[in-house]
Structure 1
Amino acid sequence: MKRCIACLIIALSLLAGNSSYGQSALVAKVLAQLQIESNQCNEELIAEKPLPYHKELSVVVIPKYNEKEEEFFSLDSYILVVNNQSGKIISKYFEEGTTNGWTSDAVRLESIFIDTAPYKVKAGVNAFAIKLAFRGSSNPNPYSSELISIFEPRGAKIKCLLKNFDSETSTGEWDMHCAGEFNEEVKTLSFSKTVSQGYYNIIVKNKIRHIVSTKVNDDCKKKITSKTTTKILRFKNGMYQ
């Protein structure tokens, strides 16, 4: 129950950090420039957020349908930096739904949100992140994950520096009452002072938990083991790897 409450709090905070399409005149201006109708998009997943270090600018994400069926869709990704007043597109990134991983089927794409915490990828350069949250549809085999991508505006273009890095994963198998096993991984990214090809290395700390739940008499007992690992992502051939 505590975990469910925590997840709800996180979800509400993420929604608070991303304005929805229905509330935004700015997004309407962006759609007009892109010559995209709102009904061509997954309107629930459209997001926008001001850049705290460039207060006249915002990041806007337009997820346009590439394919759409009853239980499946894929989305073309338009990631934009725009002027808050005019809505003019300053910088643009586009990738088709066939290659960007923005798909929803048995594992549902539930949310797209913008992280404008200053990702200081190199001296004097702030990037931003786009995070995708997925959730599986099976109750006996729960699954959720979060993917993070980091983007750097470069004039009229936006460069993807890190693509769909698996930052959170939760899997499990249980009897839907008590007995089962669960695995959780939460990865925290930070930037080191060492540099590869002009970009700061990313330190990834991965907190891993393994949970075994068993029924003892009338109680549900949990045994939790945990460990933390560390790895380094280095910039090579235009991407962090």
Structure 2
Amino acid sequence: MKRFSNIRTLFFAPVVLIGLGAPAALAGQNECVGRAADIIRHAYPSATNADDGTLLFEGATITLSKSDSVDDDPHAVICRAWPAQPQLTLIAVPLMTEQSDSENEGGIELLVVDSTNLQVRQRLRLDGFMSDDAFRVRSVALDTARYQLAPKRTAFGLRVSREGSSRANPFGETTLWLFAIEGDGLKPILDNVVVRESHGEWDTVCAGEFSETTRTLSMVPSAKDTVADIIVTEKTTTSVNRVGTDNDCNSEDKTTIRKHRLRYDGSGYGVPKDLKRVD
């Protein structure tokens, strides 16, 4: 998978952005239903129809949206109006080269289109973003929270959630990337921050240990640059379950909170290794 490693900042007001994938302001519902076919026709004029209702483009399969929920099919096209620039709509197009019960391979192409005529303004191909094996991609969502980089520059996010299938060793995570318009293209500016992670090991009855980490992002003024810094607040709760003398399942919890400050280096935000997804 590919990695992504001028106005005064005094105009910035701190903006808190929840690090979870569920709230409508962040992930939201899919707004493609009824428009997906027209969008794909504009963006991929050489795509052809397949017998199963999907589209084929340069060896990849494009699945049109049939639901307004991003959780129903992670391999379907998703759309979201961009509140920061209402004249634009954001599209994520999974381009799947292999799909099976055991493994999937493919990438995503991000599109920024004119909300009225659906003409593509910017696009960016993200190879490997839909490839999985032991940990399956469960949902893909566009994040339109107000990532205010500068007074006239706002980024948007892409969130990919994965889950494991083991009951004894449960695992789930949601990872965030941020992108900004730069000229005629899209620029990746924040690479691979895990905003939710849960994992554990237990006997499937009671005894075991679980950990859940959530991270929230806050845009704050930078002391040295015209682009805002990002404060990442990390909350981790560790739970240890044991069978008590009365055969009840007792849990002991411990919570820790840490903060990280991410600074813009001229091309993007540096992300510490311990905040990133490990593949």
Deviation for aligned residue 1:220: 1.1
Deviation per residue, 1:5-63 (Å, 9 max, x gap): xxxxx769599823265x232x2223222234534125523211111122222111001
Q: Residue 79 of structure 1 corresponds to which residue in structure 2? A: 110
1:47 matches 2:78: yes
Write out aligned runs for 1:91-240 (5 A).
91-97=122-128, 101-194=129-222, 198-216=226-244, 217-236=246-265, 238-240=267-269
Higher relative helix content: 1
Secondary structure, counterpart of 1:178 in structure 2: coil
Structure with larger RCO (C-alpha < 8 A, sep 6+): 2
Deviation per residue, 1:42-92 (Å, 9 max, x gap): 552321111112222211100101343441112221111112222111111
Query: How big is the alpha-carbon RMSD for the aligned residues of Structure 1 and Structure 2?
Result: 2.3
Secondary structure, counterpart of 1:130 in structure 2: strand
**Cα distance in 2 between the residues matched to 1:30 and 1:124:** 27
Count of aligned pairs: 227
**Cα distance in 2 between the residues matched to 1:169 and 1:108:** 14
Structure 1 residues 29, 15: closer, same or farther in 2, change over 3 A?
farther
Q: Any stretches of 5+ residues in structure 2 without a counterpart?
A: 1-20, 49-53, 56-60, 65-72, 271-279
TM-score after normalising by structure 1: 0.86
Deviation per residue, 1:112-168 (Å, 9 max, x gap): 001111100223211111101110011100000010001111232111101221111
**What amino acid sits opposite 1:17 in the alignment?**
G
**Cα distance in 1 between the residues matched to 2:130 and 2:211:** 24
Of 30, 35, 55 in structure 1, the residue corresponding to residue 39 of structure 2 is 30
**Cα distance in 2 between the residues matched to 1:203 and 1:96:** 28
Q: Residue 119 of structure 2 corresponds to which residue in structure 1? A: 88
Higher relative strand content: 1
Q: Is the 8 A contact 1:131 1:147 kept in 2?
A: yes
TM-score after normalising by structure 2: 0.75
Percentage identity across paired residues of the two chains: 25
**Cα distance in 2 between the residues matched to 1:76 and 1:171:** 26
**What amino acid sits opposite 2:193 in the alignment?**
F
Deviation for aligned residue 1:218: 2.8
